[in-house]
Amino acid sequence: MRTLMNGVLILTENMAGWGHYSAARALKKALHMQNPEVEVVIERLLPRISTSLERAVSKCYLETIRHVPRLWGAAYDKERWFGQLLRGPLGMLTASALRPLIRKWRPRVIICTHSLPLAACAQLKREGADFTLGAAVTDFGIHHFWLCPEVDFYFLAHESLTELPPLKKCGSKTFATGIPVDPAFSLLDDQKEKWRRTCGLEPDRFTLLLLGGGSGIGPYLECLRHLLPASVERRWQLVVITGNNSSLHEEVRRMCSGVPHVTPLKFVHNMNEWMAAADVVIGKPGGMTTSETLAAGVPMLIINPIPGQEEKNSRFLTEKQVAIREDRPAKIPEVLGALDDEPHRLKELSRQARRIGKPRSATDAAREILRHVF
């Protein structure tokens, strides 16, 4: 029977978007690039407990941030309560789903890109299970629900996180590798015209990339309504990516019909190239989107971050001067127009993004993981 005695089990969830799962896939790809012989398996725990529970949790989260985002923000700020819940009853519940996976795979190393399976792993280690445990934190802050003394090492988004007192109290090793992004981001350069030609765009136009995300949460269509006339007037080109949200994509296509130099797309497998082609990425500051944007060396225009993790990400980005925040859709063309008119300012934002971005994040994390495998 195939096991992971010389391999890696990556645990994640995708109940509230694909960012956590994307980080897991990036790690798997990087591990295989460095050692094609290493066994790597990605698993999710919630579906093993109950697919109905997974759907309910996902719906509850998405409906909360869509209709009462401040409620989620208030809950998110209850850090110690969340941490105790995960280390207590939720940790024991998810541990029950993890035990059969441990018996099946017998992994030498487990890496978690979501806090829920991390709590289960910590519970089993407290019970005496023998494996090395790592965690890839997928935001630019670290919430208490990630903090477990049973974790052997953390992969963090930025060097500043390694000095946080609650994390230092855990006693775990920390590596500021960055949030794991597809290793393809490490192949990019700053030759905008080349990447625009690769993507079938006009090479000499100011290029905007509007990201909607699969949930469609936020004033996405309102932003687009204001961007379309401005893009015509200013001779910009606009790429609009809606992910797996088919209804949002159809509405975008309807709105963009007949407007020149607008490219509406669904899910793409070469996000690194589309980002490299852009002068500015417009969207919500989820951990994965933010990390990919920085890895591509592109500044971000942030719109309406969700209270909680996205607020923390937004604050980090604006403090590091790699992003501008504008929550009023009607003002977005004005902000972008200023960047178009001041290329030196845009260049400085891009330079800062390249300095902070970590395009080799998954590769660097994989190198450390492999040290514990063999």
- pLDDT tens readout for residues 148-165: 999 999 999 999 999 888
Structure tokens at 307: 């209270």
Residue pLDDT, tens place only, 311-362 = 999 999 999 999 999 999 999 999 999 999 999 999 999 999 999 999 999 9
Query: E strand or H helix at 322, and its extent?
Result: none
Q: Look at residue 300 and tell me whether its pLDDT is greater than 70.
A: yes
Residues 162-182 have a mean pLDDT of 91
Phi-psi region of 332 (alpha: psi -120 to 50; beta: other; left: phi over 0): alpha
Confidence of residue 92 (pLDDT cuts 50, 70, 90): confident
pLDDT of residue 215: 62
Over residues 8-34, the mean pLDDT reads 93
Check residue 149 and give its pLDDT: 92
The arithmetic mean of pLDDT across residues 130-138, rounded, is 96
Ordered alpha helix ranges (H), 132-270: 165-170, 192-198, 220-234, 246-256
Q: How confident is the model at residue 77, as a pLDDT?
A: 74
**Residues 291-317: what's their mean pLDDT?**
95
User: Which residues 6+ apart lie within 8 Å of 208 measured at CB?
Assistant: 227, 231, 236, 237, 238, 239, 278, 279, 280, 282, 336
Residue 15: band (very low, low, confident or very high) from pLDDT cuts 50, 70, 90: confident
Residues 238-275: pLDDT tens digits? 999 998 888 889 999 999 999 999 999 998 999 999 99
Mean pLDDT confidence for 223-238: 96
Compare 18 and 129 and report the one with higher pLDDT. 129
Pick the CATH number of 184-356 from 3.40.50.2000, 3.20.20.60, 3.40.50.2300, 1.10.530.10: 3.40.50.2000
Q: Coil, helix or strand for 164?
A: coil
pLDDT (mean) for 111-122: 94
Residue 295 near residue 178, CB atoms below 8 Å: yes
Q: Which of 89-93, 137-141, 367-371 has the lowest mean pLDDT?
A: 89-93
Q: Closest Cα partner for 26 from 199, 186, 240, 146? A: 186
Q: What is the mean pLDDT of the segment spanning 295-302?
A: 98
Strand partners, 282: 210, 301
- Domain parsing of the chain, residue ranges: 7-181+360-371, 184-356
Percent share of the chain, pLDDT over 70: 95
User: What's the rounded Cα separation, in Å, for the pair 163 and 16?
Assistant: 29
Q: What pLDDT score does 108 carry?
A: 93
Mean pLDDT, the chain, integer: 91
Helix (H) or strand (E) holding 211: strand 207-211
- What is the topology classification, in CATH, of domain 7-181+360-371? Rossmann fold (3.40.50)
Q: Which residue has the higher pLDDT, 372 or 217?
A: 372
Mean pLDDT, residues 99-121 taken together: 93
- How far apart, in whole angstroms, are the C-alpha atoms of residue 24 and residue 14? 10
Residue 65 pLDDT > 80, yes or no? Answer: no
Q: CA 103, CA 82: separation in Å to the nearest integer?
A: 29
* Residue 51 CA, distance from chain mean position: 23
Tell me whether domains 7-181+360-371 and 184-356 share a fold.
yes
Q: pTM value?
A: 0.94
Average pLDDT over residues 15-26: 89
User: Is residue 76 very low, low, confident or very high in pLDDT (cuts 50, 70, 90)?
Assistant: confident
Percent of the chain scoring above 90 in pLDDT: 70
pLDDT of residue 216: 61
Task: Provide mean pLDDT across the span 280-302.
Answer: 96
Average pLDDT over residues 176-184: 98
